[in-house]
Amino acid sequence: MRELRIHGRGGQGSVIASKLLAVALFREGEWVQSFPAFGVERRGAPVTAFLRLDDDPIRLRCEITEPDDLIVLDPTLIDAIDVTAGLKRGGTILINTEKAPEEYPGLLERFRVATIDASGIAIRHGLGTKTQPIVNTAIVGAFAAEFGLISLESVKAAIEDEVPAKREANYAAAVEAHGAVRSAGPREVSHV
Amino acid sequence: MKKVMIGNHAVSWGVLRSRVEVISAYPITPQTQIVEALSDMVADGSLPAQYIKVESEHSAMAACIGASIAGTRTFTATSAQGLALMHEMLHWAAGGRLPVVMADVNRAMAPGWTIWTDQNDSLSQRDTGWIQLYCETNQEVFDTTVQAFKLAEAVNLPVMLVLDAFFLSHTSEPVDVTEQEDVDRFLPRREATFKMDTSDPHAFGALVRPDAYTEMRWHQQEAMREARDVFREVEDEWEAITGRRYGAVEAYRADDADLLLVTSGTITSTARHVVDQRRAAGEKLGLVKVKMFRPFPTDELRGLLGGVNRVAVLDRNVSPGRGGIFAEEIRAALYDVPPDDRPILFGYVLGLGGRDVTPAVINDIIDNTRSKASPEREDLWVGVEL
C-alpha cells in the first residue's frame, strides 16, 4: 500500500485533486481510497487531503500520519506548518512552486523533491483568478509525469468525470505540467 | 458499473436504483450531499420522484409518513440534531408500520458542537421501533440502501441505514453500482397492503384503547423477529444477483480465537487490518462485526461469543451513567450462556466526536485485554487526557 498526503489552502482544489488522482488510479487498476481531513474548510486556511492506493481493497480507515509521498499545493505552507511530519525517508515531495528542486537543499537531504509552477500554468489556462488560481489539474499532470502511476489518458478521463467546468483548459493545464515537472534527489522509499 | 464515489453518493445511487417515489429532507452536514445528489437526479429527470422541500427534519419525516401511507416508496436522510428533531415522528413511522427508509450519517450529538462521527445519534433512537443497519464500506452502503427497501416493505417496518460521518460519507472509494434491470428484478414496485386511497377510504392514526394497544406493540415485536429471517432471505437474493453478502453479524477469522473484538461501522475495517497482522504473528485473535443492531442478533452473538475466553467490545458511543451501548446489549445477550462458556467482557469506549481510531489504538486495546484478569470497570475509556 502507498499513502499520500496533500497539503493546500482552502480554494486551491486540494480535495478535488485527491479525488482526481483516485479516479485516475482506479482507471489504471489500483484500489483507491481518498478523503479530506475532516473539518470545516475556509478559503485560504491550510487544508489536508489523503490518498491510499493498493492492489487489494484497502482496510485502514484512519488518517495518514506516515505518508510515503507528499503533494504541496502552496509552497508557503512549507514554512507555516510541518508538512513533512511523518514523511518516510526517501519519499517524494511534489511542490507547486516556480523554484527548482535544488533550491530546497534541506528537504533534499532526506527526500526526493519535484517542482512544478502549477499556479503559473493554471493562470495561463484561465483556471481560477490570478490571485487565486485553481491548481489541482496542473498538479495532477505533474504527478502523472513524476510518479509514473497514471497516464495522461487516465488524467483526461478523471477530469471528464470530476471537473464540472472548463474541462479542455483543465486538461491542457495537466498536459503542460506533465511536460514541465523537474525533480532531484534519490528515490529510495520501498512500498509495502 | 464501477465508479469511485463518496459514501454519501453511494446512498444516492442506491435510492436512484430503488426507484424511490417520494423524497423529503432537510440539509445537515455531513448528510447534505446525499439529498443534493438526489435533488439533481430529480431535477434532470433521471429519478422520476417527488422531492418535497420542508423547513425542518420533523416535517421531513412527517412528509415521508404521509407519502408512505399513500403507498409510495419514500426516503429521507439526516444526521445528529436533525435525527433528534425527528424523534416523535420516528415513533409514528414505526408504530404506523410504514416502510420508510432513512440514511443516518452518524454524527456526534451536540454540545460540544461537532460535525464528526460517533453513534450516539442513531443509538439514541434505539427504542423507536426502527430496524438499524450499520455499514462498513461504501459498497456495503450502496447494497444496504437497496436491501433496506426490500426488507422494510416485507415486514412493514422502517429501516435506518447508518454510515460513519466522513470515514464513509466523505471518503471516495470504488463502488460497483448494480445495473438497473438487476435491481428491478430484486426490488419490484411497492405494493402496500393498506394505503390511503380516496376511492376506498380508511382512517389512519386513530385513538387506540387499552384493549388493542398491547396487541399493536406485539405485532410490531413479531415483525422485528420476522425481520431477522427476512434479512437473511433478502441477502440470499441479493447475493444471487451481485455475489455480495454481509450478514447481520459477520465472524472474521474467529475460528479457534481466544480473544474476539466486537466492532461496528468503519472501526471494523481498521480492526480487520490489525487482526491480519497479529494472526500473521501467530496470535489467536478474531473479530465479530455487528451490522444489525435492531432487531438485535442475540442468537448469532451467543453462538459466536459463547465459549470464547475474552471479548473486547469497541463502542464509538456511550450511554452516560452506563457505558458503551453495544457492550451493554452484548452483556445482556450473554446472560443466558452457561457460566462456564461466558467470556470475560471488556467494554471500551473510544473514537467519540470523530477521534481517529488507528491500528495503534486497537493494538493497545488488545494488549490491555490480554494483560488483565478482568476489567477494572464496566466502561473502559480509551485515550482520555485530563
- Other beta carbons within 10 angstroms of residue B248's beta carbon come to 21
Residue closest to B382 by CA, chosen among B261, B283, B277: B261
Question: Which residue would you say has higher pLDDT here, A15 or B78?
Answer: B78
Please tell me if residue B192 touches chain A, with a CB cutoff of 8 Å: no
pTM (global) more than 0.90: yes
pLDDT for residue A44: 85
> Å from A184 to nearest chain B CA?
32
Please tell me if residue B142 touches chain A, with a CB cutoff of 8 Å: no
- Grade residue A192 by pLDDT with cuts at 50, 70 and 90: very low
Is the CB of B172 less than 8 angstroms away from the CB of A35?
A: yes
Sheet holding B292-294, edge to edge: B50-53, B22-25, B74-78, B101-106, B159-164, B131-134, B292-294
Please tell me if residue A45 touches chain B, with a CB cutoff of 8 Å: no
CATH 3.40.50.970 in chain B, residue ranges: 2-242
pLDDT for residue B32: 97
Is the CB of B172 less than 8 angstroms away from the CB of A65?
A: no
Mean predicted lDDT score pLDDT of chain A: 93
Please tell me if residue B359 touches chain A, with a CB cutoff of 8 Å: yes
Find the Cα–Cα–Cα–Cα dihedral B226, B228, B231, B232, rounded to 10°.
Answer: -110
Which secondary structure element, helix H or strand E, spans residue A169, and what is its range?
helix A167-178
Is pLDDT above 80 for A187? no
> Å from A128 to nearest chain B CA?
24
Report all structural domains of chain A as residue ranges with CATH numbers, in order of start. 2-184 (3.40.920.10)
Q: Which residues of A touch B4 (CB under 8 A)?
A: 19, 22-23, 26, 32, 34
Q: Which residues of A touch B174 (CB under 8 A)?
A: 26, 31-32
Q: Which residues of B touch A19 (CB under 8 A)?
A: 4, 172
How would you classify the pairing of strands B101-106 and B74-78?
A: parallel
Please tell me if residue B110 touches chain A, with a CB cutoff of 8 Å: no
Is the CB of A33 less than 8 angstroms away from the CB of B171?
A: yes
How would you classify the pairing of strands A31-36 and A46-54?
A: antiparallel
Terminal CA-to-CA distance of chain A, rounded, Å?
A: 6
Is the CB of B4 less than 8 angstroms away from the CB of A31?
A: no
pLDDT over 90 percentage in chain A: 86
3-state SS of B280-293?
HCCCCEEEEEECEE
Contact B135, B1 (CB under 8 A): no
How would you classify the pairing of strands B22-25 and B50-53?
A: parallel
> What grid cell was written down for B373?
484478569
Residues 6+ positions from B76 with CB-CB distance below 8 Å: B23, B24, B25, B35, B60, B61, B64, B100, B102, B103
Q: What is the pLDDT of residues B258-290, one digit of tens each?
A: 999 999 999 999 999 999 999 999 999 999 999
Using a 10 angstrom Cβ sphere, with 0-12 exposed, 13-18 middle and 19 or more buried, the burial of residue A177 is: buried
Please tell me if residue B272 touches chain A, with a CB cutoff of 8 Å: yes
Chosen CATH of B249-381 out of 1.10.287.180, 3.40.50.300, 3.40.50.920, 3.90.550.10: 3.40.50.920
Residue A59: which of B4, B273, B357 has the nearest Cβ? Answer: B273
CATH number, span B2-242: 3.40.50.970
> Å from A37 to nearest chain B CA?
9
**Is the ipTM reported for this complex over the cut 0.85?**
yes
Is the CB of A38 less than 8 angstroms away from the CB of B272?
A: no
Residues 60-89 of A with CB under 8 A from B: 60-63, 65
Residues 213-252 of B with CB under 8 A from A: none
* Average pLDDT of span A121-144: 96
CATH 3.40.50.920 in chain B, residue ranges: 249-381
Is the CB of A61 less than 8 angstroms away from the CB of B116?
A: no
Cis geometry, peptide bond prior to residue B297 (ω within 30 degrees of 0): no
- Other beta carbons within 10 angstroms of residue B195's beta carbon come to 15
3-state SS of A94-156?
EEECCCCHHHCHHHHCCCEEEEECHHHHHHHCCCECCCCECCHHHHHHHHHHHHCCCCHHHHH
Contact B178, B8 (CB under 8 A): no
Is the CB of B273 less than 8 angstroms away from the CB of A60?
A: yes
Give, in order, the Cα–Cα distances in Å from A159 to each of A21, A145, B340.
10, 16, 61
Pick out chain B residues at pLDDT < 70. Answer: none
pLDDT for residue A133: 94
